[in-house]
Structure 1
Amino acid sequence: MGLGRNQANGEVQGAVHKPRRFVGDVTWDEVKKHDGKTVKEKWLVVDNQVYDITQWSKRHPGGFKVITHYAGQDGSEAFTAFHNDEQYVRKFMKSIHIGQIAKDQIEQKEVVKDFAELRETAEKMGLFNANFLFFFLHMSHIIGLEILSYIVMRTFGVTWLTFITCVIMHGTLQAQVGWFQHDLGHLSCFKSSKWNHALHFIFMSTVKGASAKWWNHMHYQHHAKPNVMNKDPDVRLEKLFVVGEKMPVMVAESGQSSMPYNHQHKYFFLIGPPLLFPVYFQFMIYRHMIKQREWTDLFCNILYYARFLYLYIPLMTWWQLLLFYESFRVMESIWFTWVSQSNHIPMEIDEDAARPWLELQLRATCNLEQSFFNDWFTGHLNFQIEHHLFPTMPRHNYHKIAPLVKTLCKKHGIEYKSKTLLQGFADIVRSLKSSGEIWYDAYYHLQDQYPDD
């Protein structure tokens, strides 16, 4: 629940505060009350130690929401998953330490113990060590596509052939830089968190035209509580879509149904993948930067558009330029949406049950089969299970840990799902259709039951 060593070093030191009291031994019943809902204070448990994150969460380098999603719960496994250098981070936790779990209430589930041993095995195998050549080649093909696209347009002018060719190259590079910034954001490309953060900021702002701070804020929440309603921002879709089995009923019972959800599997093709980046994300990115006063982020984001206009205004008319930009953004958006949702939307979507890390992630994620094309096309997110279990692991090592994950899942009776790429895509539509039918039945059952309301 946070970022790495260097970002912590840059932001944490001035953020510590003294808790109001030291409470000593604490029962789990008391911890659960401090979830920010039952009482205003928020407590978090890491390795049986209790921390008051009420004020600290507002200054948390990884964002205030990601850490408060574990308020009233044991966040030990999430803490380990997100932090590259635990010992360094723990130095800043001393000032918010308020007690420990009473000895007679300390217990460790077998699945938690086994997963910790699996992580130790992965560390001994060197699976958290990045292959610099892999990421260098990936970065090079992104930069190469951008340069080649400009050369083609400048050399041959604007024709239908060059226009379409350059749209494909730009859409491809934007999709691939999306996977690369994802690697950087998870601190998996370099040993130094400083280098990961620096390049993440540069690529997101000046190459992708987005916001690293916005991505951190949204994406870490998703990893901390995947497919958990009211916590994972990726399933806060009720204004346009209902997903899973419980959300459709809740939306129907709320009386606030705003869409014909029984047709969502049809209108998904029109307002889902094509518009996610060009419309929804554009709005959310700028709202976040302005609302959070991320002026450096905003300035560097503007540099992307300044560079783009400087290069292409001499080559195109304004309407051609606008069509060119929107075309590759739509292509990028379609690419990203189908890949990202194939791993999650068809899976279980539920309220928070404070499950162990292995079970939490396996209920919310599935894999797509491995091939050279699938690895490249999905940015290795065809290994979504392994990525969610070990978010800081370099993606080129997922296939090495996958057999061990399968064995552990089999031991604990946890289903390990893997599909073909096309099956994953088809399941998005099937799950939307199923959820829409659940909403329809619940909504019109209520209408028949209370016709005058």
Structure 2
Amino acid sequence: MAPDPVPTPVPASAQLRQTRYFTWEEVAQRTGREERWIVIDRKVYNISDFIRRHPGGSRVISHYAGQDATDPFVAFHINKGLVKKYMTSLLIGELAPEQPSFEPTKNKALIDEFRELRATVERMGLMKANHLFFLLYVLHILLLDVAAWLTLRIFGTSLVPFILCAVLLSTVQAQAGWLQHDFGHLSVFSTSTWNHLMHHFVIGHLKGAPASWWNHMHFQHHAKPNCFRKDPDISMHPFFFALGKVLSVELGKQKKKHMPYNHQHKYFFLIGPPALLPLYFQWYIFYFVFQRKKWVDLAWMLSFYVRVFLTYMPLLGLKGFLGLFFIVRFLESHWFVWVTQMNHIPMHIDHDRNKDWVSTQLQATCNVHQSAFNNWFSGHLNFQIEHHLFPSMPRHNYHKVAPLVQSLCAKYGLKYESKPLFTAFADIVYSLKESGQLWLDAYLHQ
């Protein structure tokens, strides 16, 4: 599930052993701690030991244990031939000839047509990035960063320039967040090495966060979006929020009440947008790098904090600097939470039902209407459907593939939802109110 191969290639002579054949039933049983198998292009791989060495983390690949992982494998790797070469040491056999290529519960026609669509997308060149687009994007972030400092340097540190500086820095942080997302998904350069290097620079030096933490969290989200216990983005269920119609009713029936969920659409404004970055992520990212000994990430992070401290401390003093830093994280947190949750929280949230790649992504994502502002404000994540179907596609091509995706959805009766920006924001609150009420009804009456 991640771009960098690790296993050692097996000599050709070792590949001549007799092929073993398996059924889907046998594969589906290998999901436990002792043994985990996955299927890619009908070949069966034992990932039981490899998960600890998997560059993308043990969890993201384990989320497909016992299942067909062909489509996520294709979606997450930009050099699939090289990765498959190194996967030979994990190969233990293949599906028996009489076995279908997909689990019996999946829609074969939909899977086949989506794979044809992906081949078409690749022939159209939509998986190749326009480097000028990303160069200009980097430059606009750096110019905003310089403008924030010049605001204080030229106009002084009174209230108005201080607030303007905070807004500019918050914009830098938000836009750098969208840019690191591009590099993290390997959607800018044709090689993983350059994508990883720029990912470290943007998320580490420009934002002060670890690349390994983002990879660990975000690829799980893409592998199984809105799947309870597999998507970390909904890990606040059931501790703070009752999410989705299915899970909220389950909580109610189990008589669980960690919070007054019927009021969650109100306290969301207190513990959601204003608190996530400054009160949780800000300390957790340091805990993450020390716990996992990610010293390269720590070095990149420290370069950010040293740079910001040396830049603003002489102008503002210690208290002023800390105040500015907190305000920036506070504003950035609002921006980040509203944009990232508008595409997912109002959608279907459930346990993993092992649906096909297209259905899994469509039921968990929705779009926000295209406009120049919406594209910039959300880092093109208003095209969330296209991004989830093709996570390594450069963002400037989402609008080109969108009509093809809409046609596919219409043919197979899949809901393709797109809405205005402020409607998407409001739907977060409405969905929390609805699921909170479902929890209360189940809690009181079942």
What's the TM-score once normalised by structure 2's chain length?
A: 0.95
Q: Which residue of 2 aligns with 1:179?
A: 178
Deviation of 1:77 (Å): 0.5
What value does the CA root-mean-square deviation take over the aligned residues? 1.8
**Separation of aligned partners in 2, 1:89 and 1:270:** 45
Match of 2:59 among 56, 65, 71: 65
**Separation of aligned partners in 2, 1:256 and 1:444:** 11
**Separation of aligned partners in 2, 1:22 and 1:61:** 30
Amino acid at match of 2:284: M
Deviation of 1:225 (Å): 0.3
Q: 1:15 to 1:179 in 2, by over 3 A?
A: farther
Amino acid at match of 1:64: S
Deviation of 1:182 (Å): 0.2
Q: 1:22 to 1:421 in 2, by over 3 A?
A: farther
**Separation of aligned partners in 2, 1:287 and 1:103:** 49
1:21-36 correspondence to structure 2 within 5 Å: 24-36=20-32
Bigger drift between 166-175 and 106-115 goes to: 106-115
**Separation of aligned partners in 2, 1:292 and 1:318:** 31
**Separation of aligned partners in 1, 2:249 and 2:415:** 26
1:261-340 correspondence to structure 2 within 5 Å: 261-340=261-340
1:335-346 correspondence to structure 2 within 5 Å: 335-346=335-346
- What SS does the corresponding residue of 1:228 show, helix, strand or coil? coil
**Separation of aligned partners in 1, 2:175 and 2:406:** 28
**Separation of aligned partners in 2, 1:275 and 1:91:** 45
Deviations 1:48-85 (A, max 9, x none): 10000001011001111000000000000110001111
**Separation of aligned partners in 2, 1:197 and 1:242:** 36
Q: 1:71 to 1:16 in 2, by over 3 A?
A: farther
Deviations 1:358-379 (A, max 9, x none): 1110000000000000000000
**Separation of aligned partners in 1, 2:327 and 2:255:** 38
Deviation of 1:152 (Å): 1.4
**Separation of aligned partners in 1, 2:379 and 2:82:** 30
Q: Which residue of 1 aligns with 2:124?
A: 125
Q: Which residue of 2 aligns with 1:139?
A: 138
Amino acid at match of 2:31: D
Q: Which residue of 2 aligns with 1:368?
A: 368
Amino acid at match of 2:336: F
Q: Which residue of 2 aligns with 1:449?
A: none
Q: Which residue of 2 aligns with 1:105?
A: 99
Q: Which residue of 2 aligns with 1:410?
A: 410
Deviation of 1:15 (Å): 9.9
**Separation of aligned partners in 1, 2:231 and 2:195:** 24
State whether structure 2 residue 83 is matched by structure 1 residue 89. yes
Amino acid at match of 1:156: F
**Separation of aligned partners in 1, 2:310 and 2:9:** 41
1:246-257 correspondence to structure 2 within 5 Å: 246-257=246-257
Q: Which residue of 1 aligns with 2:440?
A: 440
Deviations 1:346-392 (A, max 9, x none): 00001111111111100000000000000000000000000000000
**Separation of aligned partners in 2, 1:208 and 1:76:** 34
Deviation of 1:298 (Å): 1.4
Deviation of 1:251 (Å): 2.7
**Structure 1: gaps spanning 5 or more residues:** 447-453
Aligned residues: 437
Q: Which residue of 2 aligns with 1:80?
A: 74
Q: Say whether the 8 Å CA contact 1:36–1:42 is kept in structure 2.
A: yes
Q: Which residue of 2 aligns with 1:153?
A: 152
- What SS does the corresponding residue of 1:306 show, helix, strand or coil? helix
**Separation of aligned partners in 1, 2:20 and 2:411:** 37
**Separation of aligned partners in 2, 1:296 and 1:266:** 40
Deviation of 1:104 (Å): 0.6
Q: Which residue of 2 aligns with 1:168?
A: 167
Deviation of 1:254 (Å): 4.2
Deviation of 1:280 (Å): 1.7
- What SS does the corresponding residue of 2:182 show, helix, strand or coil? helix
**Separation of aligned partners in 2, 1:228 and 1:353:** 8
**Separation of aligned partners in 2, 1:427 and 1:332:** 21
State whether structure 2 residue 208 is matched by structure 1 residue 218. no
Q: Percent identity?
A: 50
Deviation of 1:299 (Å): 2.2
Amino acid at match of 1:265: H
State whether structure 2 residue 359 is matched by structure 1 residue 355. no
**Separation of aligned partners in 1, 2:25 and 2:252:** 33
Deviation of 1:193 (Å): 1.6
**Separation of aligned partners in 2, 1:22 and 1:64:** 29
Q: Which residue of 1 aligns with 2:394?
A: 394
What's the TM-score once normalised by structure 1's chain length?
A: 0.93
Q: 1:304 to 1:101 in 2, by over 3 A?
A: same
**Structure 2: gaps spanning 5 or more residues:** 103-107
**Separation of aligned partners in 1, 2:9 and 2:227:** 29
Q: Say whether the 8 Å CA contact 1:2–1:60 is kept in structure 2.
A: yes
**Separation of aligned partners in 1, 2:256 and 2:8:** 44
**Separation of aligned partners in 2, 1:379 and 1:137:** 14
Amino acid at match of 2:162: F
Deviations 1:5-59 (A, max 9, x none): xx43xxx15699999x98710011100000116xx20000000100000010110
1:21-60 correspondence to structure 2 within 5 Å: 24-36=20-32, 40-60=34-54
Bigger drift between 56-65 and 282-291 goes to: 282-291
Deviations 1:139-188 (A, max 9, x none): 00101111111111122220111001001100001000000000000011
Deviation of 1:321 (Å): 1.4
Amino acid at match of 1:96: L
